[in-house]
Amino acid sequence: MKNVYYLAKKDFFQYFIKPATISWGIIFPIVFAMAFVVRGRDINFLAPGLIAIASFFGATSMASTSITFERRFKEFERLILAPLSYWEIVMGKVVGSLVFGLFVSLITTFITLPFLGIQVGNPLLLTVACILTSIAFSSIGVFIALIIKDPRNIMIVVNSIRLPMIFLSGVFIPLSASPTILQYISLLMPLTYAVELLRYSFTYNAFIPIEISLVAIFVWFFIFLVLAVASLKHKY
Amino acid sequence: MIISRNLTKYYDNHLAVDHISFHVKKGEIFGFLGPNGAGKTTTVRMLSCLTKISEGEAFVNGYSVLNDKVNVKRSIGVVQDVANLFGDLTVRQNLRFMAELYHVDKKRVEEIIKQFELPANKKFNKLSFGFKKRAVLAAAVLHNPPILFLDEPTVGLDVRSSRHIQNLIVELNKEGHTIFLTTHNMAVAEKLSNRIAIINKGKIVALGTPQELKSMFTKMIKVEVVVDNPRKDFLKELQQFHPKVQSNTIIMSTKDLQEFLDVFYPLTKKYRIKVRSITSRGANIEEVFLEVTK
């Protein structure tokens, strides 16, 4: 666990404590929220989706950027050369990105939501949901960054996964109002469970039962964690 | 300290390292030479757990590279062919991070900064190339590993920085580190290495002490003669020694020095050639390298 902490701490100082990163982490959710405000209706419905997207973008961006930079300049091989297990390396990267994903989602929650005048039903569940959501999305970002062949293509790949997921995960259209086929497709998206979990923490009401969303988010995190470790083992 | 048995690496269908076997003794500097693409870096990468071994096996400090990677990694320090510490961290932050990963006392970081004369508070990516190489070497020895893999540690450096790194290598070897050194610089290899292996097209084509290699491959002796007037008729009679003329200097090669002198001196008298100097020498490592990597 100590090594995971050291890796995450290194990423924190190397990537997070930077004016550009912090500005992005603050401006991105505010601008995103403004777009929702301009729309002017269904704010209570859209707010959980906003937090989930903020966490999704924050965590996956940080995971993929830090790893691809390090892979490109062979800094990542410093970690491979150290006497660490592959689990420790992957978890170190996941925890590092989790911190940023959580930072962005909490900024969204604590700055933007009061501005929109939205009440949170269960703050504890909201916090747990933000942590789980960020950790699951971090593991997705780490996995993608490790399997991609050419690190320069990372953003194309990440966005081609992120953008369809945003539109298929019940962020903008309630799952209950979606066609059955889209409902089935949305069940394959980790973002769906994050949105449902966050929605429940606001309104105590969600299309997917909270227990299933909690387990599903954790399962997605674990699946991508295992896949990321397997891809490291395959490479080295 | 390092044992390689039939070590092999395929990249898809390309055979990069072809069943090479060698061992590196404790406390020696083992030079590993080869032309570009010969398999030097791939060998270092396999021995340091950075690239998977396709066939064969290797042991580093008694630990299997195939089955005991964490202990292998604890036993080695690696300087890769690129300067790859974390660019946005300072030298001190980089070394402290490494110290944490290797569970080394932070006091050691300050010792190393002093020993390697590093600008501790400068960001790594702001350092000159020479300092970057020095910092990477410092990070490699931070945890005091018994074995160091140095892949082209002097490449791209000016004479002063190169000399400084060479001195550090000698110093580290005296401190007891076994060193596996790959380099393109034949003079550096000859000067520093106790033994040298030359790899070509994935195979080891020569292995021995620099002296052994030179005597093994000294088939031809070069003779350099400075004369007053290298006349054409005189040179024609020396054709068997393949004379090459540069101003007043004639460079020739022979298998037998005595045989050469028996022919050469009578000819100087015959053509009234005044000899200013005559020198002969056997092969150096560079010539051995060129011979075995033809």
Q: Do A73 and B73 touch (CB under 8 A)?
A: no
Whether B261 and B187 map to the same domain: the answer is: no
Work out the angle at residue B76's Cα, subtended by the Cα atoms of residues B70 and B80, and round it to the nearest 5 degrees.
110
Q: What is the mean pLDDT of residues B43-58?
A: 96
Q: Which of B73, B76, B89 sits opposite A13 (nearest CB)?
A: B89
A83–B49 CB contact, under 8 Å: no
Listed by number, the residues of chain B in 40-59 with a beta carbon closer than 8 Å to a beta carbon of chain A are 48-52
Note the pLDDT of residue B71. Answer: 95
Chain-chain contact of B89 with A6 (C-beta, under 8 angstroms):
no
Please check whether residues B165 and B224 belong to one and the same domain.
no
Residue B247 lies in a domain: yes
User: Binning pLDDT at 50, 70 and 90, where does residue A39 land?
Assistant: low
In this predicted structure, what is the pLDDT of residue B254?
Answer: 85
Cα A62 to Cα A98, A150, A189, B112, B149, distances in angstroms: 9, 17, 20, 32, 32
Can you give the pLDDT at residue B103?
94
Cross-chain CB nearest to B102 (options A79, A82, A236) = A82
Tell me: do B223 and B209 sit in the same domain. Answer: no
pTM of the model: 0.82
Which residues of chain B does A75 touch, with a Cβ-Cβ cutoff of 8 Å?
84-87
User: Please, which residues bridge with residue B31 across strands?
Assistant: B181, B196
Distance from CA of A75 to the nearest CA of B (A): 5
Q: Mutation test of the interface with chain B: which of A75, A87, A93, choosing the one with the most B Cβ atoms within 10 A?
A: A75
Q: Between A2, A14, A78, which is nearest B84 by CB?
A: A78
Provide the b/e sequence for B237-262 (b: ≥16 CB within 10 Å). Answer: bbeebebeeeeeebebebeeeeebee
| Residue in A224, A200, A207, A220 with CA at minimum distance from that of residue A44 | A200
Q: Which pLDDT value is given to residue B145?
A: 95
Show the domain range for B264: 219-282
Rounded CA Rg of chain A:
17
Cα dihedral B103, B107, B113, B115 sign: negative
Q: Which of A91, A32, A63 is nearest to A158 (CA)?
A: A63
The alpha carbon torsion through A157, A107, A88, B132 (nearest 10 deg) reads 80
Token pair for residue A20?
């550009």
Q: For residues A129 and B288, which has the higher predicted lDDT (pLDDT)?
A: A129
Q: How far apart are the first and last CA of chain A?
A: 22
Using a CB-CB distance cutoff of 8 angstroms, which residues of chain B are in contact with residue A13?
A: 89, 93
Last residue of a domain, one of B163, B180, B215: B215
| Interface residue A70 vs chain B (CB under 8 A) | yes
- pLDDT tens figures, A71-96: 988 999 999 999 999 999 999 999 99
pLDDT at B54: 95
CB contact under 8 A, B87 and A3: no
In this structure, the number of other CB atoms found within 10 A of the CB of residue A2 comes to: 10
Residue B250 belongs to domain with CATH number = 3.30.70.270
Q: Check whether residue B157 and residue B233 sit in a common domain.
A: no
In the stretch 169-188 of chain B, residues with CB closer than 8 A to chain A read none
Query: What is the rounded distance in angstroms from the CA atom of residue B64 to the CA atom of residue B75?
Result: 12
Question: Is A214 a residue whose pLDDT tops 90?
Answer: yes
Q: Do B161 and B238 belong together in one domain?
A: no
| Pairwise CB contact (< 8 Å): A75 & B87 | yes
**Top-confidence residue, A120 or B101:** B101
CATH at B199: 3.40.50.300
Same domain for B55 and B107, yes or no, is: yes
Whether residue B290 is contained in a domain is answered as no
Confidence class of residue B280 from pLDDT cuts 50, 70 and 90?
confident
Please state the domain count of chain B: 2
Cβ-Cβ contacts under 8 Å, A70 against chain B: 86
CA distance A175 to chain B (A): 44
A81/B78 touch (CB, cutoff 8 Å), yes or no? yes
Tell whether B26 and B157 lie within a shared domain. Answer: yes
Is the domain of B175 the same as that of B277? no
- Going by pLDDT thresholds of 50, 70 and 90, the confidence category of residue A40 is low
Q: Pick from B87, B89, B101: which is nearest to A82 by CB?
A: B101
Interface residue of B66, B72, B78, B100 to substitute, partner A, most A CBs within 10 Å = B100
pLDDT digits (tens, 9 = 90+) for B185-238: 888 888 899 999 999 999 999 899 988 887 776 667 888 999 988 888 899 999
Across the A:B interface, residue pairs with CB atoms under 8 Å apart total: 62
Residue A236 and residue B50: Cβ atoms within 8 Å?
yes
Rounded average pLDDT over B246-273: 89
A 72-131 residues inside an 8 A Cβ radius of B: 73-75, 77-85
Domain termination site, one of B192, B215, B238: B215
B85 in reach of chain A (CB within 8 A): yes
Categorize the per-residue pLDDT at B26 as very low, low, confident or very high, splitting at 50, 70 and 90.
very high
CB A77 to CB B70 under 8 A? Answer: no
Residue of A nearest to B78 (CA): A81
In a domain, B292, yes or no: no
Instruction: Give the rounded percent of residues in chain A with a pLDDT score beyond 70.
Output: 96
Q: Cβ of A21 under 8 Å from any chain B Cβ?
A: no
The reply to whether B80 touches chain A by the CB within 8 Å rule is yes
The whole-chain average pLDDT of chain B stands at 91
Q: Are residues B135 and B24 in the same domain?
A: yes
A77 contact residues in B (CB cutoff 8 A): 50, 80, 84
Q: What is the pLDDT of residue B218?
A: 66
For A42-46, A66-70, A190-194, which range has the lowest pLDDT when averaged over its residues?
Answer: A42-46
Q: Is residue B264 part of a domain?
A: yes
ipTM of the complex: 0.85
Asked if residue B294 belongs to a domain, the reply is no
Q: Which residues from A are below 8 Å from B139, CB to CB?
A: 78
Residues B203 and B76 in one domain: yes
pLDDT (0 to 100) of residue B154 = 87
Same domain, B209 and B225: no
Same domain, B107 and B164: yes
Domain final residue pick, B215, B232, B260: B215
Cβ contacts of residue A156 below 8 Å, gap of 6+? Answer: none
* Interface-testing mutation among B11, B76, B95, B97, with chain A (most A C-beta atoms within 10 A): B97
**Chain A contacts of B48, Cβ < 8 Å?**
81
CB B202 within 8 A of CB B38: yes
Choose the weakest-confidence range: A162-176, B16-30, B96-110, B113-127: A162-176
